[in-house]
Structure 1
Amino acid sequence: MIEIDDAGSGVLVLRLTQGENRFSPDFLDAFGKALDEVEGTAKALVTTGEGKFYSNGLDLDWLSGNGDKFDWYLGRVHALYARMLGLNLPTVAAVNGHAFAGGGMLSLAHDFSVMRADRGWFCLPEIDLKMPFSPAMVALIQAKLPKETVHEAALTGRRYTGTESVAAGIAHHAVAEDEVLAKAVEVATALGAKDGKSFGAIRRTLYRPALNALTDAAAAAATGS
């Protein structure tokens, strides 16, 4: 489901290997355990999917049979984003393919992202799914994207290519498919030379409102309040 590779120079790669990499409870468990393993060990972290998917986000099939657990489930998703924002090491998303909805937000929870230029989209399709964003998700999106991009992406469900994503301030690099992971590792290696605790402290300060919103929402869901 999630494999950990050593890319050298203290960079570890989390390979998401569950097809569309939707956020089932088992997937969220595995992601958390992987972060437990790399935290305190890696100097920098890269995440990537396989094939044509980075992640399509929420597991709608699981939700269709577990609607009574929606608040608990969404809290766990919020907790994942909060954890990424709180890590004491740099993070880079190697977006090998589609990053839709919650998967797109996962890429935004990283410090930097590299997308493939030729195929694959970043998309926030909640408007077409008739699923409003949670306030905590909005806080993350607004913290990481330019105002004009938030407006267009959220209200139209536009699909952005890698090149368009860079122009819109969504991604930082767009390269050929076979260069995505290598470029992400290159970026992570350079960032890994920074002091991890300082890096994490600065990030948590920069994105304190979004981090607080995600953390509070996750805690409320966990306690049922």
Structure 2
Amino acid sequence: MLERDDVDVEGVPVAVLRMAHGPVNAMDLGLCQGLAERFRALAADPARAVVLTGSDHTFSAGVDLKRCTAGGDPYVEKFLPALCEAFRAAFELPKPLVAAVNGHAIAGGCVLAACADVVLMAEGAGRIGVPELRVGVPFPRIALEVLGVAVGERGARELVMGAQTHPAERAARLGLVHEVVPAAELGSRALAAAAALARDVPPDTFATTKGQLRRPALERTDRYADEDEPVAQLWKRHIADGWVAGYLASVTSRRGSPATGG
């Protein structure tokens, strides 16, 4: 589900987390719980920095909507808090985090990448973006805050309301991606970026400054916790009424599209 490699980059220990969870790293309950657990543990880990990446040609194609539709209300009630915890744990990590986006990063996968301090994306056919509105479900507050930090309030509004996915070069212009790199160089470039962030700043100074920059977003997340219930109700409603299943059917009918996207 989550594989770890420890790499020494010129004296800087870097942990590489690779999602290896099915063909498209769909975010189900188990993966979200695993991500939250790993990121919480990494806060006190000897690794000075972290690289998060996917497997094969996919970073993560987003929420496993098939599991959500099959599990219904009981599954959604467990899943949404776990999804939020996965985002928050990555977003709060007090160490440098680099997302090495090796392919599709759709919806929840896009938000997960946006939790990082640096986002590198491989050249190629991979797409990144947040089509949740077309799925028929609203974002949890933490996802909106993550996107706001990543691309600013206006950029987040345009991404969310546009509900589109974008090729790597377009994503770089939008601010979702810091740099587009050759696929063969993605791993080495991500390791170098992570090590540079760790090497050039004292760890306590980095952690404090990152916490200061992200504190307003986390405080808003806590302040608007009353949104959690209506968000969950809309997920349940549009799973029950077939809207989410209709979206899934439309996506899987398009050749080459990942069959997730929540």
Q: What TM-score results when the alignment is normalised by the length of structure 1? A: 0.89
CA distance in 1, matches of 2:63, 2:220: 19
CA distance in 2, matches of 1:149, 1:12: 30
Q: C-alpha displacement at 1:210, in angstroms? A: 1.9
Which is higher, the Rg of structure 1 or of structure 2? 2
Could you tell me whether the CA contact under 8 Å between 1:117 and 1:175 is conserved in 2?
yes
Task: Give the partner amino acid of 2:218.
Answer: L
Q: Secondary structure of 1:7's partner? A: strand
2:143 aligns with 137
CA distance in 2, matches of 1:148, 1:177: 30
Q: Secondary structure of 2:56's partner? A: coil
Q: 1:23 and 1:197, CA in 2 relative to 1: closer, same or farther beyond 3 A? A: farther
2:49 aligns with 44
* Range 122-131 or range 209-218, more displaced: 209-218
Q: Secondary structure of 2:180's partner? A: strand
Counterparts of 1:1-225 in structure 2, within 5 Å, are 1-8=1-8, 9-18=12-21, 19-40=23-44, 41-69=46-74, 70-193=76-199, 194-214=201-221, 217=225
CA distance in 2, matches of 1:87, 1:156: 29
Q: Deviations over 1:83-123 (max 9, x none)?
A: 12222211000000000001100011111110012220111
Could you tell me whether the CA contact under 8 Å between 1:88 and 1:198 is conserved in 2?
no
Q: What TM-score results when the alignment is normalised by the length of structure 2? A: 0.77
CA distance in 1, matches of 2:73, 2:127: 31
Task: Give the partner amino acid of 2:60.
Answer: S
CA distance in 1, matches of 2:56, 2:73: 33
Q: C-alpha displacement at 1:165, in angstroms? A: 1.4
Could you tell me whether the CA contact under 8 Å between 1:91 and 1:188 is conserved in 2?
yes
Q: Secondary structure of 2:95's partner? A: coil
Q: Secondary structure of 1:65's partner? A: helix
Q: Which runs of 5+ in 2 are unaligned?
A: 230-262
Q: C-alpha displacement at 1:67, in angstroms? A: 2.6
Task: Give the partner amino acid of 2:34.
Answer: A
**Moved segments of 4+, more than 6 Å:** none
Could you tell me whether the CA contact under 8 Å between 2:55 and 2:102 is conserved in 1?
yes
Task: Give the partner amino acid of 1:14.
Answer: L
Identity of aligned residues (%): 26
Q: Secondary structure of 1:6's partner? A: strand
2:232 aligns with none
Q: Which runs of 5+ in 1 are unaligned?
A: none
Q: 1:190 and 1:54, CA in 2 relative to 1: closer, same or farther beyond 3 A? A: same
CA distance in 1, matches of 2:217, 2:102: 26
Q: C-alpha displacement at 1:14, in angstroms? A: 0.2
Q: 1:63 and 1:213, CA in 2 relative to 1: closer, same or farther beyond 3 A? A: farther
Task: Give the partner amino acid of 1:141.
Answer: L
Q: Secondary structure of 2:50's partner? A: strand
Q: Secondary structure of 1:207's partner? A: helix
CA distance in 1, matches of 2:54, 2:177: 16
